[in-house]
């Protein structure tokens, strides 16, 4: 994999940081274990993995794709990284992303855009485009992403790989640099559903270091994949969400989706239609809640504590240095979100914007609850289009935001959802999204494994 990275990453630019020495040492340690006849630490011992650059890892930079963190080295491992290491996995390096995970194309990275291995002129999705592109380019067999509004699933969809957002609270956020704390969740990126499940069971689990971590058993996702592989979905009710399709969706995406529905029916699933009327409000509500939380979370980048410091000389006050540093260190999209969020939270507007968005969030959760009475899992296209061209949406934030039309509802409700490849449209990958109720992640895995 290191050779493959050296060969293709100059063109793909999936990685921000590759740690050859660390990777080789970790691999040697596994070889020594095998030679000494010791039991492997986990089924994934010795398997290389790439980690999105929003999770801390001691002894390596964590940039979050931002200039403001350039040169910063976290003094500790995130829980996810700690678990990968405990499982004997070989961390290859850190992958590129939209700055602070804000975006759908990796074009918002301060360190250059990642390219889609299917067509280097197209985006690999975002914010975790680096992780998914690394899989699609065979630079790594597994990767870690984070998903606040779709950043694991949408890159999975447009690169023809699998991306899973676990139930909120089941994978620790300790050491995951916060964007929108009530939505952020780390999860597995893989080339097969089974690989994703194996990785899922390595990274999930209760963590006292994260106050939102839930103390429940990890959903049995590996067993569910085994069950799914029998190819029998009889008795499983699959709900098509009426609101997630139709106008604004690429024709090829819709036809791939309808083919997937027929395949699920052929596997024995009962197909039903469900309506979730509040999902049409998910996007505007998300773009009030996520920026509001971001404006608060990003206040810590004050030029004193982390990374970059600009204009620090005896003539300037701390406030001037703070302001100059934030001006120089944050990119346009991050500034846009900080302004949106600060506005939505300000005294005179709080009820009208942030308060209403929270109400919509409750309505979305209720829509899910009622839909899951009729169906065991819900399905939709993962994203309305295939990979678009680099540069095509940079001047149109609304067009960029629409990439997450189908993925955002599951974040709002804290539910589990995944994207699995479902054919091609005009030669580019399409993704099928499968949504499950909270803590029922295994349902989606079962259906995905049967379908795959
Ligand atoms: N594209 C969405 C955004 O820009 C989602 C990002 C994410 O899931 N991190 O906010």
Nearest protein Cα to ligand 1, atom 5: 149
In the chain, domain spans:
2-278+366-451
Pocket test for ligand 1, best of 52, 53, 126 (most atoms within 8 A of CB): 126
For residue 333, give the ligand 1 atom closest to its CA: 4
pLDDT at 71: 87
Q: Name all residues whose Cβ lies below 6 A of ligand 1.
A: 101-104, 127, 147-151, 179, 290, 404
Q: What are phi and psi of 54, to 5 degrees?
A: -115, -5
171 alpha carbon to ligand 1 midpoint, in Å?
18
For residue 179, give the ligand 1 atom closest to its CA: 9
CB 158 within 8 A of CB 124: yes
Give me the tens of pLDDT residue by residue for the chain, a chain 452 residues long.
Answer: 999 999 999 999 999 999 999 999 999 999 999 999 999 999 999 999 999 999 999 999 999 999 999 889 999 999 999 999 999 999 999 999 999 999 999 999 999 999 999 999 999 999 999 999 999 999 999 999 999 999 999 999 999 999 999 999 999 999 999 999 999 999 999 999 999 999 999 999 999 999 999 999 999 999 999 999 999 999 999 999 999 998 899 999 999 999 999 999 999 999 999 999 999 999 999 999 999 999 999 999 999 989 899 998 889 999 999 999 999 999 999 999 999 999 999 989 989 999 999 999 999 999 999 999 999 999 999 999 999 999 999 999 999 999 999 999 999 999 999 999 999 999 999 999 999 999 999 999 999 999 99
Rounded Cα gap, residues 321 and 29, in angstroms: 46
Pocket test for ligand 1, best of 52, 53, 98, 156 (most atoms within 8 A of CB): 98
122 alpha carbon to ligand 1 midpoint, in Å?
18
Q: What are phi and psi of 232, to 5 degrees?
A: -115, 115
Respond yes or no: is residue 229 known to be catalytic. Answer: no
Q: Global pTM? A: 0.98
Rounded Cα gap, residues 265 and 271, in angstroms: 7
Position of tokens 């139709």?
Answer: 246
Respond yes or no: is residue 66 known to be catalytic. Answer: no
160 alpha carbon to ligand 1 midpoint, in Å?
19
**CA distance to 232, 238, 378, 445, 446, per residue, from 271 (Å):** 14, 5, 10, 17, 16
312 alpha carbon to ligand 1 midpoint, in Å?
33
CB 60 within 8 A of CB 128: no
Indicate the Cα dihedral angle 120, 428, 418, 245, nearest 10°: 130
From 42, 66, 151, 380, active-site residue: 151
Listing DSSP states for 285-350 in one string gives HHHHHHHHHHHHHGGG-SSSSSS---S-STTS-HHHHHHHHHHHHS-HHHHHHHHHHHHHHSTTTT
Residues near 133 by Cβ (< 8 Å), separated by ≥ 6?
Answer: 12, 14, 95, 96, 114, 115, 116, 117, 124, 139, 155, 159
Rounded Cα gap, residues 106 and 93, in angstroms: 17
For strands 90-95 and 428-436, give the pairing: unpaired
**Burial level of 266, CB count in 10 A (0-12/13-18/19+)?**
exposed
243 alpha carbon to ligand 1 midpoint, in Å?
20
Q: Which two structure tokens, joined as six digits, stand for 3?
A: 């050779």
For residue 148, give the ligand 1 atom closest to its CA: 8
Respond yes or no: is residue 127 known to be catalytic. Answer: yes
From 52, 83, 94, 165, active-site residue: 52
Q: What are phi and psi of 280, to 5 degrees?
A: -70, -15
For residue 128, give the ligand 1 atom closest to its CA: 9
**Burial level of 402, CB count in 10 A (0-12/13-18/19+)?**
middle
The class (CATH top level) of 2-278+366-451 is alpha beta
pLDDT at 246: 87
Rounded Cα gap, residues 346 and 177, in angstroms: 24
CB 418 within 8 A of CB 434: yes
Residues near 145 by Cβ (< 8 Å), separated by ≥ 6?
Answer: 52, 128, 131, 132, 151, 152, 155, 163, 186, 187, 188, 189
Rounded Cα gap, residues 379 and 335, in angstroms: 34
pLDDT at 261: 98
Pocket test for ligand 1, best of 101, 333, 407 (most atoms within 8 A of CB): 101
**CA distance to 80, 83, 214, 216, 393, per residue, from 207 (Å):** 10, 11, 8, 11, 39
Does the CA dihedral 440-172-146-30 come out positive or negative?
A: negative
**Burial level of 194, CB count in 10 A (0-12/13-18/19+)?**
buried
- Strands in 48-52's sheet, in edge-to-edge order, are 15-18, 90-95, 48-52, 142-146, 186-190, 162-165, 416-425, 428-436, 377-381, 237-241, 270-274
11 alpha carbon to ligand 1 midpoint, in Å?
24
Q: Which two structure tokens, joined as six digits, stand for 84?
A: 């990968």
Best CA proximity match to 335, nearest among 358, 312, 301: 301
Rg (CA), the chain: 21
For residue 103, give the ligand 1 atom closest to its CA: 4
174 alpha carbon to ligand 1 midpoint, in Å?
19
Q: What number of other Cβ atoms are within 10 A of residue 151's Cβ?
A: 36
Helix boundaries (H) for 229-281:
251-266
């Amino acid at each position: 994999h290191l050779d493959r990275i050296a060969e293709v990453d100059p063109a793909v630019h999936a990685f921000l940081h590759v740690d050859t020495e660390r990777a080789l040492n970790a691999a040697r340690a596994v070889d020594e274990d095998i030679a000494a006849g010791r039991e492997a630490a986990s089924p994934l011992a010795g398997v290389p993995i790439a980690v999105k650059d929003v999770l801390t890892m001691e002894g390596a930079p964590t940039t979050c794709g931002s200039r403001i963190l350039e040169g910063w080295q976290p003094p500790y491992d995130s829980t996810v990284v700690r678990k990968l290491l405990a499982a004997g996995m070989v961390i290859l390096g850190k992958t590129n992303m939209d700055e602070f995970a804000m975006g759908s194309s990796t074009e918002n990275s301060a360190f250059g855009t990642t390219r889609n291995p299917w067509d280097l002129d197209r985006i690999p999705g975002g914010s975790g485009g680096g992780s998914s592109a690394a899989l699609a380019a065979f630079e790594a067999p597994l990767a870690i992403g984070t998903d606040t509004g779709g950043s694991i699933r949408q890159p999975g969809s447009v690169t023809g790989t699998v991306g899973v957002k676990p139930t909120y609270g089941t994978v620790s956020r300790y050491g995951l640099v916060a964007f929108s704390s009530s939505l952020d969740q780390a999860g597995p990126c893989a080339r097969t559903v089974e690989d994703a499940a194996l990785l899922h069971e390595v990274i999930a689990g209760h963590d006292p270091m994260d106050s939102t971590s839930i103390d429940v058993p990890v959903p049995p996702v590996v067993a569910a994949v085994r069950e799914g592989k029998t190819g029998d979905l009889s008795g499983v009710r699959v709900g098509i969400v009426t609101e997630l399709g139709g106008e604004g969706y690429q024709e090829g995406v819709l036809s791939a989706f309808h083919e997937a529905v027929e395949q699920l029916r052929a596997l024995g699933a009962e197909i039903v239609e469900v309506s979730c009327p509040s999902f049409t409000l998910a996007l505007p509500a998300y773009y009030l809640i996520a920026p509001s939380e971001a404006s608060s979370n990003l206040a810590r980048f004050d030029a004193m504590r982390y990374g970059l410091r600009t204009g620090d000389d005896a003539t300037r006050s701390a406030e001037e240095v703070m302001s100059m540093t934030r001006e120089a260190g944050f990119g346009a999209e991050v500034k846009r979100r900080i302004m949106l969020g600060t506005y939505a939270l300000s005294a005179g507007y709080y009820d009208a914007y942030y308060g209403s968005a929270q109400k919509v969030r409750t309505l979305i959760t209720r829509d899910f609850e009622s839909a899951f009475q009729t169906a065991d899992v819900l399905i939709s296209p993962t994203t309305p289009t295939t990979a678009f061209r680099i540069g095509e949406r940079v001047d149109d934030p609304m067009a960029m935001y629409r990439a997450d039309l189908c993925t955002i509802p599951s974040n709002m409700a804290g539910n589990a959802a995944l994207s699995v490849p479902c054919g091609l449209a005009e030669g580019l990958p399409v993704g099928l999204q499968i949504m499950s109720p909270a803590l029922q992640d295994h349902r989606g895995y079962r259906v995905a494994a049967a379908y795959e």
